[in-house]
Amino acid sequence: MENIFETNVLDSNEAKVMDKLTIESGIMEETLMEQAAFAIADVASSFSPKKILCVAGTGNNGGDCIAAGRILHNKGYNVEIYIYGKNQSNGFKKQLLIAENYGLKIKYNKDFSDEYDLIIDGLIGIGLNGEVRSSIKTVIEKINSSNAKVISEDIPSGISSDTGEVMGDAVHADITITFGNLKIGQILYPGREFSGKLKIAELSFKKFISNRKIITPDIIKVPNRKKDSHKYDYGNVLILAGSSKYPGAPILTALGAQRIGAGLVTLITPGDSSKILSFEPSIIYSSLNKNNFEKNDLKKLNDEIERANVIILGPGMTEDSIEFVVELIKKQGRTKNIVLDAESIQAIKEFESLSENILITPHVGEMKKIFKNLKNNIFELERFSKQKKCIIMLKSSITTITDGEKTFFNLLGSSSLSKGGSGDLLSGIVGGLIAQGLDTINACITGSYIMYKTAKELSNEYTEYFITPKLISENLYIGFKL
């Protein structure tokens, strides 16, 4: 992605509101369209095309496309415009009239040939209203089968700007030039892939602040470290995790919490995870010498729980420990910071509402187990977070963090993280940041950023095949270099 000076991510409704507010403030729609068209024409020129095809729908996205074609024609390029659709927007009509007056070649609902080396896709933008109709689908297929480079205007036609889903079929762009702000559909897969390179063209929009943002280095908050300090200044993390079946996962969690800077990390497992001591002897470790956590273990763990300022539950747990987790949430859920990861997340089914000091960190599969209707849908995720009153960090190719009001997207994910243990490490990192005083949302933003950046930098050297969560934990310092 290049030229990302704007980190707001809009949904289609917000984009329309921004447009309306701008026009109400006195900037004319034609001005915005002309600016959009110049931005498209600039990028188009950089390809030094011999023959350009502008494929326009009959809404304002089509209007932009015709205007870009007219500007390129004026610059001396060989341009043809093909129009598909019936209901013409006012903006479209105006552009069509100007293009005709300027002597451009325009064809309606006709098949185009394969003689172009650049196609500008202005079929549908943020006005897509459902699955792409078959007549337009045929045009999209034609664009995708051409050898020409493809520039999509605003969003590849056929991609939902709200979810990133392919609505029947969609244009595969080499570059997408979006106007004013990013849209959700360009951030989430598969839309992100269909968008190709993303570029934002800054139009004269009235400033519009969205509650959804991509995570960039300027919003990372690394906790301070004082010269005159002791271990209690940096928090006390208690990790209750693992099982006789999965003794390895909690080791990664403990390493994550420790290497992100927590003052004290205590790991208590049912089974034997004592290997942690050979990796990092500074971790306080004990085992309950059983298969799983049980409800009555809470009494035994009382002192450790009281001392902790964050409790991480879940990595390597099996469902036999869920009753224990439910009980712990009942007793401590309103007062302690709690991170629920992996199997322990299932415990939230027992609660109508939680509290904002509870974070759940599911991957998509785990989320679907508690929230069956989950699709690639940010609105649903935000609603769920609000309704359950908990913070969610949904781990995926694009990790999404929300408290129901504000949402943040981490775009640094890579296949080096698609490995068992990555989530275990991340919960430890985030817990370690909460222990050091960051609020939960900022701990998720900063923790995921540092970990994913480390993975990315390591992958450049060692490949995405080779990277393991343990290797990431050992090199976590890389991610601190913002």
Does 176 engage in binding with K ion (CB under 5 A)? no
Q: Which is nearer to K ion, 123 or 392 (CB)?
A: 123
Q: Please report how close the Cβ of residue 16 comes to ligand NPW at its closest, in angstroms.
A: 6
User: Which residues, listed in sequence order, are joined to residue 268 by a DSSP beta bridge?
Assistant: 240, 286
Sites for ligand NPW among residues 171-190 (CB under 6 A) = 179
397 is an annotated ligand-binding site residue: yes
User: Given candidates 126, 140, 177, 476, which one binds ligand NPW under the rule CB under 6 A?
Assistant: 126
User: Given candidates 153, 162, 165, 403, which one binds K ion under the rule CB under 5 A?
Assistant: 153
Does 315 engage in binding with ligand NPW (CB under 6 A)? no
| Residue in the block written with tokens 């289609």 | 12
Q: Is 5 exposed, middle or buried (0-12, 13-18, 19+ CB in 10 A)?
A: exposed
Q: Please report how close the Cβ of residue 175 comes to K ion at its closest, in angstroms.
A: 12
Which whole-number Å values give the CA distances from 418 to 423, 464, 465, in the listed order? 9, 9, 10
Count of residues in contact with K ion, rule CB under 5 A: 5
Q: Phi first, then psi: what are they for 204, rounded to 5°?
A: -80, 45
Does 129 engage in binding with ligand NPW (CB under 6 A)? yes
User: Given candidates 6, 14, 64, 366, which one binds ligand NPW under the rule CB under 6 A?
Assistant: 64
Does 134 engage in binding with ligand NPW (CB under 6 A)? no
Structure tokens at 433: 């940041």
Q: Please report how close the Cβ of residue 383 comes to ligand NPW at its closest, in angstroms.
A: 25
Give the interface segment with ligand NPW, choosing from 11-19, 70-78, 333-341, 429-437 (CB under 6 A): 11-19
User: Given candidates 32, 40, 104, 268, which one binds ligand NPW under the rule CB under 6 A?
Assistant: 32
Query: Which partner from the list K ion, ligand NPW, none does 136 bind, CB cut-off 5 to 8 Å by kind?
Result: ligand NPW
* 378: nearest Cα among 351, 353, 397, 406: 406
Give me the half-sphere count of Cα atoms (radius 13 Å) on the Cβ side of residue 230.
1
Concatenating the DSSP letter of every residue in 352-411 gives S---TTEEEE-BHHHHHHH-TT--S-HHHHHHHHHHHT-EEEEBSSSEEEE-SS-EEEE-
Give the interface segment with ligand NPW, choosing from 13-21, 225-233, 249-257, 327-335 (CB under 6 A): 13-21
Q: Are 4 and 214 in contact (CB under 8 A)?
A: yes
249 is an annotated ligand-binding site residue: yes
Q: Which is nearer to ligand NPW, 155 or 426 (CB)?
A: 155
Q: Is 399 exposed, middle or buried (0-12, 13-18, 19+ CB in 10 A)?
A: buried
Q: Which is nearer to ligand NPW, 9 or 32 (CB)?
A: 32
User: Given candidates 26, 48, 87, 209, which one binds ligand NPW under the rule CB under 6 A?
Assistant: 87
Q: Please report how close the Cβ of residue 354 comes to ligand NPW at its closest, in angstroms.
A: 38
CA-to-CA distance for 366 and 345, rounded, in angstroms? 8
CA-to-CA distance for 219 and 222, rounded, in angstroms? 10
Q: Are 431 and 312 in contact (CB under 8 A)?
A: yes
Q: Please report how close the Cβ of residue 111 comes to K ion at its closest, in angstroms.
A: 20
Query: Which partner from the list ligand NPW, K ion, none does 157 bind, CB cut-off 5 to 8 Å by kind?
Result: K ion
61 is an annotated ligand-binding site residue: yes
Three-class secondary structure of residue 212 per DSSP: strand
Give the interface segment with K ion, choosing from 70-78, 157-165, 279-287, 324-332 (CB under 5 A): 157-165
Does 93 engage in binding with ligand NPW (CB under 6 A)? no
CA-to-CA distance for 424 and 441, rounded, in angstroms? 18
Does 132 engage in binding with ligand NPW (CB under 6 A)? yes
Does 200 engage in binding with ligand NPW (CB under 6 A)? no
User: Which residues, listed in sequence order, are joined to residue 286 by a DSSP beta bridge?
Assistant: 268
Question: Which amino acids are annotated as binding site for (6S)-NADPHX, given as ranges?
Answer: 60-64, 125-131, 154, 249, 316, 363, 424
Chain contacts with K ion (rule: CB under 5 A): 121, 125, 152-153, 157
Question: Which amino acids are annotated as binding site for AMP, given as ranges?
Answer: 395-399, 423
